[in-house]
Every structure is written in C-alpha cells, then in structure tokens.
Amino acid sequence: MRALGPGSVSSFLKIILDVSYYVLWIWVSLLALVTILVLLLSFNTDLLTSILPSELAEPLAKNGPGSAAALAGWALMSGGWMAIVERLRKIFATMTLGDPFHPENVRRLRVVGGILAALEVGRYVFAALTRVLIDGEKVVDGSFTLNAWFSVLVVFVLAEVFREGARLRREAELTI
C-alpha cells in the first residue's frame, strides 16, 4: 500500500482531517451564534412571547441563561476539538513534506494531549454546572471514563517518541 500520494491511507486521512476541520468551523460558528441569540432572547421575555407560543416561550425564558451557558460550553468543547484537528493537520502537512519528526510536531502533540485532558476535565465541570443551572437536567454525561485518560496517555507517549525522533533527525543532519 502506498504511504503517500493519491489512493494512500495518508491521503484518505488528510481528507477526513480537512472535512472535520471545516465542519467544526461551521459547527462552532453556529453554536456561538445560537448561544448569543438564546442569551439575548432569554432577557427579553416580551419578545419571546410575541414570536414563540407561550408553552415554548416560558421554559426558554426560565432556563435561558442556563441554556446559553450550556451552549457556550458546547461551543468551547467544539473549539477544543477544532484546535486538535488544526494541529493534526499541521503534523500531517510536515509528514507529506517528508519531515514528520520536525521539532515543532513534539510541541503540537503535547498541546493535543493537553487539550484532550482539558476537554475531559471540562466535561466533568460542564456536566456538573449544567445540572445545577438547568433544574437538575442531565445534558452531558459527567462520569469518569478511563478511555479518555488512556488517549491522553497515548498522545503524551507519542510526543516523547517524536521528541526522540526529532533528536535523531538533528543528529543525522550534523552527521558528515
């Protein structure tokens, strides 16, 4: 199987990363827009009742700020995913240029690991906050998942592997 070029696994992964990146951009923008709208509408109950039926307007007016906070949390988490995908795209770009052990990739992988860890902690906080803000409603599952922390560990191990790769690359550059 080809490592690079059309029809290779890497080209397939590149398409997935590119599509994910642009889909996440749209998703985060939409979420941010809806968050602002919900926040603005929740403070204007008169406008809400005039444009929405009362059975919809009342709960929205009551839970508006909480819902806006929940949506903002979703937007932040999606932003984290976007940041991860952006770094993966940059790592991939160095690979397609034939230089995967670029020293910058070590930092990128560490950032990815850090974001994954922050997203996991953020999920616990987000779940607890939304439960308090939206009348005990369970919007997000805030239970501990070992898989997520295992992924964080894998990324940090890979970052160390890349650091050693970058060191070997530097040595190879100065081998005459």
Partner 1 sequence: MSIRVNLDRVLLERRMSLTELSDRVGVTIANLSILKTGKARAIRFSTLDALCRELNCQPGDLMTFEHGPGEGHDED
Name the minimum Å distance from CB 141 to partner 1. Answer: 45
Between residues 89 and 169, which has the closer beta carbon with respect to partner 1? 169
How far are the Cα atoms of 1, 28, 32 from residue 10, in angstroms, in the given order? 11, 26, 32
By the rule CB under 8 A, 174 interacts with partner 1: yes
Sign of CA dihedral 86, 92, 94, 99: positive
| C-alpha–C-alpha distance, residues 15 and 7, integer Å | 11
Between residues 106 and 155, which has the closer beta carbon with respect to partner 1? 106
List all residues 6 or more positions away from 51 whose beta carbon is below 8 Å from its beta carbon.
57
How many of the other CB atoms lie within 10 Å of CB of 113? 20
Q: Scan residues 113-172 and list those touching partner 1 (CB under 8 A).
A: 170-171
Between residues 89 and 163, which has the closer beta carbon with respect to partner 1? 163
Q: Give me the count of residues in the chain.
A: 176
Name the minimum Å distance from CB 143 to partner 1. Answer: 44
Between residues 141 and 173, which has the closer beta carbon with respect to partner 1? 173
Contacts with partner 1 by CB under 8 A lie at 170-171, 174-176
